[in-house]
Chains A and B, each alone.
Chain A
Amino acid sequence: MAHDQLTYDDLLRIVELVKSSDRFSEFRLKVGDIEVELRRGSNAPPLPLTPAAPPPREGRPSSPESSPAKPQPAARPVPTWPDDAIVVRSPMVGTFYRAPQPGAPPFVEPGQSVDRDTVVCIIEVMKLMNSIPANARGTVTRILVDDAAAVEAGQPLIVLAPAG
């Protein structure tokens, strides 16, 4: 069906594709010889910037050690805690889980006291689970990350008030 102009038949088939793919936020598919690429909502690619700045990547965890020149993603509100607080940080990039498995009670809740060996969360990397111990005695005051959120190496996860 090679031709120079779009026909009404092509148009109807493209419209049918757009409608039937309603629930997909982005795709690149062909209708006959016509290639249709579409992105919906916030998945629309960012507009091109001036050549000096590399394009920001929205919504994806960046790896700080490998590309220091990249601008950071939209700033998260900076959490604060008392100076003497102990912060459990992620040793690696991965996915943070609050509980041993979905539906199970979380490892720790705010107000709970922990010992050095108490497992406070799991960081999953490439399908391998890593139990993270508190490495300190104290009480959990804040949990900074949502369950199943992506985290970067060094990212603060849980704040403890040190044991008196």
Chain B
Amino acid sequence: MTERFDFIDVTLRDAHQCLWSTRMTTAQMTPILGAIDRAGYAYINILGGAVFDVCVRYLQENPWDRIGLLCERLATPCDGLTRGQSLYTFELFPDDVVALNSHALARRGMEVLTVYDALNDNRNIVSSVRSGHEAGMKVNAMMVYTLSPVHTDDYYVERVRELVALDVDFISIKDPTGLLTPERGRTLFPAVVKAAGGIPLQMHSHCQSGLAPQVYEVAIESGFRLGYTATQPLANGASLPATEDVLARARRLGVPTSMNDDALAEIAGYFDWICERDDKPRGKIMTCDPALYEHQIPGGMVSNLRYQLETMHLSHRLPEILEEAARVRKDLGYPIVVSPFAQYIVTQATLNVVQGERYKTIPDEIRKYARGYYGRLAAPLSPAFLERANIRDDEYVTAAPAAHLAPWLPRLRAELGASARDEDLLLAAFYDRKLIEPLRDPAPQCRFRTTPLTELVGFLATREDIGYARVRFAGTDVTLAT
């Protein structure tokens, strides 16, 4: 049993990444920051790969400004997630860009850098860990959980050892598809806690199977010190467990926590309202579907896939594609079904199904993966794949993926000028110039406070059909008239 259990809020990041396609705006966040600070969270997760992308491509918000605003406004330390050597995208970046990113985050006020590699090839997080520490941040290294014959308890114990050697401040288990079960947890969790020496363990699991809250309970019992959770309306389903739920379990186990129920209720009420006002979905508790353990595709990705198939008029083939995905995964040596490989598996499965012939077309990304370009594979490739892939011996990569990448900063500095800020260099490293232009516009004003009454007045004002409204209760009498 752990001595105490702390919470990391994902409401402002992972929750809406799973449920709203990452579309939560800064303006939706700012009025509730005060309550989030009062809730007693140890850390607030405010950044992850998709956030950068969505800010730039869809919301036309400067992601650095959002990071800066949140870190400044939140007294609670903030946590940002990157994909190790891939940072916020699926490409590989050279170490100089990774280091610059760590420093830029720290300068904006980020206090914890959370990193993971999609293949659990920890060579890909070394530069992040080092530069994170250099920049004064704590580092949380995540191992991605998956089910396969090779991803045994021993496999994870070995990974933990690698991370201990890197001197990270936290070690996390990240379960993007909700594959963890309490049974597995009972063997795996004590093993990793033990292997971690004194380094605190964090739990991060999604709720597609409906078992995550129980998994968190087993984690608490096994000695995990922290867990990632979300406010009730944005919890469950493809998102993470509800803070309220895990908190109740911790209390039942008699484990001390620091959470404030009133603040949590205010946060939950606020987001419940935002879902109604802005027509956004709430998380729904799911029951265990055995197929999940087969295809393992993470929550948000299934809905994205469904959407994409609809635009191609192929939505009726979704079940076939998910089945094929399980087979593709095996053929490819059990890459973990998380970005970017989840996308690759899904794309390959779609191609296999639509073309009617397996591996007739193999996208370049997948060839690169197969060659070891992104990192060490967990298991060998299958003959079925190898036959069609025709990879030459000299094409295989065994060195660390970033080892072959030359630094980018000199070129970027040359392009953008010596006076270019680090943040602009990084944006240029990630995105096309066309996408970055609109970000120069000043961000719209955000409100930092709201109340249900304010929201009611706002709501009534948007209803053009209403010419007169009066609301009376207790000592309040509000009249709105056009």
Q: Which residues of A contact B (CB under 8 A)?
A: 2-12, 14-15, 18, 33-45, 47
Shortest distance between the CB of A34 and any CB in chain B (Å): 4
Given A15-B276, A43-B467, A47-B481: A4 and B474 within 8 A (CB)?
A: yes
A34 touches B472 (CB 8 A): yes
Stretch from B111-119, B345-353, B453-461 forming part of the interface with A: B453-461
Given A6-B473, A34-B471, A35-B473: A11 and B481 within 8 A (CB)?
A: no
A4 touches B475 (CB 8 A): yes
Within 8 Å of chain A (Cβ to Cβ): is B476? yes
Closest 3 CB pairs of A and B: A44-B467, A8-B269, A39-B468
CB-nearest residue of chain B relative to A8?
B269
Given A6-B453, A41-B467: A33 and B276 within 8 A (CB)?
A: no
Contact of B452 among A11, A18, A45 (CB under 8 A): A11
Band of interface residues on B: 20 to 34
B465 touches A36 (CB 8 A): no
Q: What B residues does A18 contact at CB under 8 A?
A: 459-460, 463, 466
A6 touches B476 (CB 8 A): yes
CB-nearest residue of chain A relative to B467?
A44
Within 8 Å of chain A (Cβ to Cβ): is B469? yes
CB-nearest residue of chain B relative to A36?
B471
Within 8 Å of chain A (Cβ to Cβ): is B273? yes
Please report the C-alpha to C-alpha distance between residue A9 and residue B456 in the assembled complex, in whole angstroms.
11
A9 touches B471 (CB 8 A): no
Please report the C-alpha to C-alpha distance between residue A43 and residue B277 in the assembled complex, in whole angstroms.
26
Within 8 Å of chain A (Cβ to Cβ): is B433? no
CB-nearest residue of chain B relative to A45?
B468
Please report the C-alpha to C-alpha distance between residue A45 and residue B266 in the assembled complex, in whole angstroms.
36
Please report the C-alpha to C-alpha distance between residue A28 and residue B465 in the assembled complex, in whole angstroms.
16
Contact of B466 among A10, A34, A38 (CB under 8 A): A38
CB-nearest residue of chain A relative to B469?
A38
A-B contact pairs, 5 of them (CB 8 A): A18-B460, A33-B473, A37-B471, A39-B467, A47-B481
B467 touches A40 (CB 8 A): yes
Q: What A residues does B270 contact at CB under 8 A?
A: 8
B451 touches A5 (CB 8 A): yes
Within 8 Å of chain A (Cβ to Cβ): is B392? no
